[in-house]
Chains A and B, each alone.
Chain A
Amino acid sequence: MASELIRMTAAELAALVASGDVSAVDVARAHLDRIEAVDERVHAFLHVASESALRAARAVDDQRAAGQPLGVLAGVPLALKDVFTTTDMPTTCGSRILEGWRPPYDATVTKRLRRAGIVILGKTNMDEFAMGSSTENSAFGPSRNPWDLRRVPGGSSGGSAAAVAAFEAPLAVGTDTGGSIRQPGAVCGIVGVKPSYGGSSRYGVVAFASSLDTPGPLARTVLDAALLHEAMSGHDPCDSTSVDAPVPPVVAAARQADVGGLRIGVVTELGGEGYSPGVSARFTEAVELLESLGAKISEVSCPHFSYALPAYYLIAPSECSSNLARFDAMRYGLRVGDDGTRSAEEVMSLTRAAGFGAEVKRRIMLGTYALSSGYYDAYYGKAQQVRTLITRDFDAAFEQVDVLVSPATPTTAFPIGERADDPMAMYLADLCTIPSDLAGNAAISVPCGLAPEDGLPVGLQVMAPVLADDRMYRVAAAVEAALGQRRGHPLLDEANGLGEANGSGEANGPGEAGPSEARPGEEGRR
């Protein structure tokens, strides 16, 4: 039973818990056991909170026994990115400077998850302060891709994506600043969503780039992502940029899963040179599939999208250089060199040099450069103008079509270490996702198959106008349903990084070890 539970969707688990067929405690225990069994190899988690998870699960069971109404996802386990503050778990942001920090308050998202009866299993690994595309910038070592443990799970929410793809949790929460939910979602073969900016609260999210940071869901199915989207989103008076409007009807849209008559635009600039053949092939097939399902396909040019990457790498570092000034070694976090002889400023500089990793230092200095007098107009100012041009491209495109599509990433998951010393190569991983961050519109990545050359997952990105998040769920759910029907089993059944692929997916029951590379020592105990 335990091995079946971990393969279920969040919707299925919630129904089982609500009906009383399975207790929330059993569901939590199955996932904690799974973490125990595989996380040494996946390294999705920085902190596993077994006791508080079981306590939260027990509370759901008690509530049910008392006949009280349960939240839609009550009793469903979740992996939380270590950038959200939690009073009962450390919050490190993957950084030495916050190692062991226990925040005195819960993020709004954390609070809403708890109130919904969602069981937080622990905190997931991430690139330090969400800066990166591979989790290699975590001070605590990289997470690994469940499709191939030698490869990155993407980033910065790579721990969250790996946890979901490795069946350690059916749901996870991440944050997207330049693609940090969609890119790891795509390369791990799961669904990743960046809601419209302001649709989800930033209160209690340790800030990287405040005009871009957007919390959002990761899940194995589009419906699960929608259910979590609805549970965690909505207006928050504690976040001044939170949008005071109802959450778009994303769950209904995911259930609708229909693209009949929908106008879908293929973005000319997000394809071609620099995209791996497998990514291009799967993307083209997905577009043909959408056409066969009744969508009207056209090509749409967004000429300024090719300037999104340079604009982003001025705007995000500028905001980060300001936001990370708070790490001053005085009130919380690391303090180095306080020997009674050094000044506060010396201690501050020593602490920041010891506590921040290379990528964070690079971005702080880049942002300091872009904002300094003499360079401000030529760099930060120009980048803000490009941001306007990109928003105008989206506005013009959405006059012609209802949604836009592109590959979610130019390539599949790359090997650990391949881009670690080449910042510009690393930055290219977010080529397709950055435009929607700059314009603040909604975007989703949904799996659209495996690249033939390496057998790794490819993501289809669907972009919708600001606060029309429901539209992209319709498209993603339609693609998911049609591909699922064609394949006959969930895509993740083919993931074999942990040596447990399900072969045909039908011959083997869920959770059973695959025939060839089964490791009884790992899976047999379950």
Chain B
Amino acid sequence: MSITREEVAHLARLSRLALSEAELDRFAGQLDVIIAAVARVQEVAADGIPPTTHAVPVTNVFREDVIVPPLGADVVLDQAPAAERGRFRVPRILAED
């Protein structure tokens, strides 16, 4: 057993996924199998091997600091789930108490 149902429930909370009980049951079993399989990377990756983060070595890239017009508020808010007075309307972000 590489991962418990309880741990999966914790991962779901961290991932902001309100999963059903049935989903938790199913995913716990599947993730257990997948994690056991991917743990094989531990067999060969010895200390001292440098990690690769990117396929091709990349360095930070700067562009000329040229002013370009941004997207208009109307264009952006057009796709918002809810908008009010030229702003995104969002649910409350603080608790009641």
Measured CB to CB, the residues of A under 8 A from B are 101-105, 196-198, 211-212, 237, 240-241, 243, 304, 307, 310-311, 313-314, 321, 325, 328-335, 338, 340, 342-350, 352-353, 356, 358, 361-362, 364-366, 368-370, 372, 378-379, 381-389, 391, 423-424, 437-441, 466
Contact = CB atoms under 8 A, between A and B. Distances in A.
B81 A361 contact: no
A383 B34 contact: no
B11 A368 contact: yes
Interface in B12-35: 12-20, 23, 26-27, 30-31, 33-35
A315 B9 CA distance: 22
A346 B93 CA distance: 10
A382 B45 contact: yes
Contact of B93 (A344, A365, A383): A344
Interface of B: 3, 7-8, 11-20, 23, 26-27, 30-31, 33-35, 37-46, 49-56, 58, 60-61, 63, 71, 75-76, 78-82, 88, 90-95
14 contacts: A241-B58, A331-B80, A331-B88, A332-B79, A335-B81, A340-B91, A346-B18, A348-B16, A352-B17, A361-B17, A379-B41, A382-B45, A384-B53, A387-B51
A381 B35 CA distance: 15
B95 to A, nearest CB: 7
Which secondary structure characterizes the binding site on chain B? loop
Nearest to B77: A331
B52 A353 contact: no
Contacts of B44: 304, 307, 386, 389
Contacts of B54: 197, 211, 241, 440
A347 B91 contact: yes
Contacts of A387: 51-52
Nearest to B75: A104
Given A197-B56, A211-B53, A365-B12, 15 more contacts: A197-B55, A243-B56, A310-B39, A313-B34, A331-B81, A335-B82, A338-B91, A345-B16, A361-B17, A366-B31, A369-B11, A372-B14, A379-B39, A379-B41, A423-B34
